[in-house]
């Protein structure tokens, strides 16, 4: 199996290559290409690979420009930090669309999908309707921008931008704001985790969901864990649980 990687960030190239060889060390990475121009030239001058793994936003343009010129028959797995391009990805030979930061399991699933469909279905029709609906749902999802809190006889609106963290205490959930005030909320942390934007909020353990914009500093803690210090919050230590450390590190990148 021969693949090429189109990606303009050296660290991302190395990580992707490592994940590919972790999946199957026999996979031949025929080329690692950094630009629209070089990728177009390579595809014109070389035998077509079995699979292309391509970032979308490159230094000299979008990788869609490559595939508008070349129109390769082989399938493509897109890797990108921007979900806004997913719909356009359907219009080329895309078999999957991985949002950065993705992990080994997500890449493995994409490569398994390639193996399953390779030779059975034309690349341009690999996406099934349920997959399209899944990505459409992802793109159109609206995250909660404010919470309504009862404060005595008043109803208070708290914008998510003003929230330092969500936390649980004695089987209840609370919102802690930049004003250094805690408000009881009817939502559980499990529910809140699904309502807020995952690019902004991260559940570091079973008791805390934190706002990345409120992180003051991060320090090493015992047993390979991390300690989070938040702006204006000092009521309790916030420790990233061991099983969440790797995902947390990817999140803050």
What residues contact residue 250 under an 8 Å CB cut-off, 6+ apart? 101, 103
The predicted structure's pLDDT at residue 93: 53
Look at residues 70, 60, 73 and name the one whose alpha carbon lies nearest to residue 34: 60
For 8-33, the pLDDT digits (tens) are 989 899 999 999 999 999 999 999 99
pLDDT bracket for residue 86 (50, 70, 90) = low
Residue 223 token pair? 């047993």
How many whole angstroms separate alpha carbon 18 and alpha carbon 104?
A: 10
Domain at 2-140, CATH from 3.40.47.10, 1.10.1200.10, 3.40.50.2300, 3.30.70.20: 3.40.50.2300
Q: 22-26, 153-157, 168-172: which range is least confident on average?
A: 153-157
How many whole angstroms separate alpha carbon 4 and alpha carbon 116?
A: 19
Q: Is the pLDDT of residue 202 over 60?
A: yes
Mean pLDDT value across residues 109-137: 58
How many whole angstroms separate alpha carbon 209 and alpha carbon 206?
A: 8
Give the Å distances, CA to CA, from 228 to 8, 157, 219, 222, 241.
32, 27, 7, 13, 11
How many whole angstroms separate alpha carbon 182 and alpha carbon 58?
A: 44
DSSP 224-247: T-EEEEETTEEEEEEEE-GGGHHH
The predicted structure's pLDDT at residue 94: 64
Say what the pTM is: 0.49
| Cβ 98 vs Cβ 107: under 8 Å | yes
Domain at 146-252, CATH from 2.40.50.1020, 3.30.565.10, 2.30.30.100, 1.10.3720.10: 2.40.50.1020
Q: Which residues of 180-215 are buried (b: 16+ CB within 10 A; e: fewer)?
A: eebbebebebeebeeebeeebbbbbbebbbbbeebb
Percent of the chain at pLDDT > 70 equals 85
Residue 127 token pair? 């996406």
Mean pLDDT value across residues 70-83: 80
Give phi and psi for 54, each to the nearest 5.
-135, 130
Mean pLDDT value across residues 131-145: 58
Domain assignments of the chain as residue spans, ordered by start: 2-140, 146-252
For 172-201, the pLDDT digits (tens) are 999 999 999 999 998 999 989 888 988 899
How many whole angstroms separate alpha carbon 119 and alpha carbon 132?
A: 21
For 210-225, the pLDDT digits (tens) are 999 999 999 988 878 8
């Amino acid at each position: 199996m021969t693949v090429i990687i189109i990606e303009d960030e050296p660290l991302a190239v190395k990580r992707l290559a490592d994940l590919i060889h972790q999946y199957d060390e026999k996979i031949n990475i025929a080329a690692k290409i950094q630009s629209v121009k070089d990728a177009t030239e390579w595809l014109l001058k070389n035998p077509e690979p079995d699979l292309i793994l391509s970032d979308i936003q490159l230094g000299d343009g979008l990788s869609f420009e490559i595939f508008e010129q070349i129109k390769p028959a082989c399938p493509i797995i897109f890797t990108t930090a921007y979900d806004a391009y997913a719909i356009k990805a359907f219009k080329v030979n895309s078999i999957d669309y991985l949002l950065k930061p993705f992990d080994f399991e997500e890449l493995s699933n994409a490569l398994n999908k390639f193996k399953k469909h390779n030779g059975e279905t034309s690349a341009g029709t690999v996406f099934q309707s349920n997959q399209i609906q899944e990505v459409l749902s992802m793109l159109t999802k609206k995250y909660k921008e404010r919470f309504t809190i009862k404060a005595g006889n008043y109803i208070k609106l708290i914008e998510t931008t003003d929230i330092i963290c969500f936390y649980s205490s004695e089987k209840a959930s609370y919102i802690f704001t930049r004003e250094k005030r805690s408000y009881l909320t009817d939502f559980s942390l499990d529910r809140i985790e699904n309502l807020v934007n995952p690019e902004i909020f991260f559940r570091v353990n079973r008791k805390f969901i934190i706002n990345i914009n409120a992180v003051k500093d991060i320090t090493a803690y015992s047993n390979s864990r991390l300690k989070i210090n938040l702006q204006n919050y000092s009521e309790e230590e916030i420790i990233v649980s061991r099983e969440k450390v790797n995902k947390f590190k990817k999140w803050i990148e």
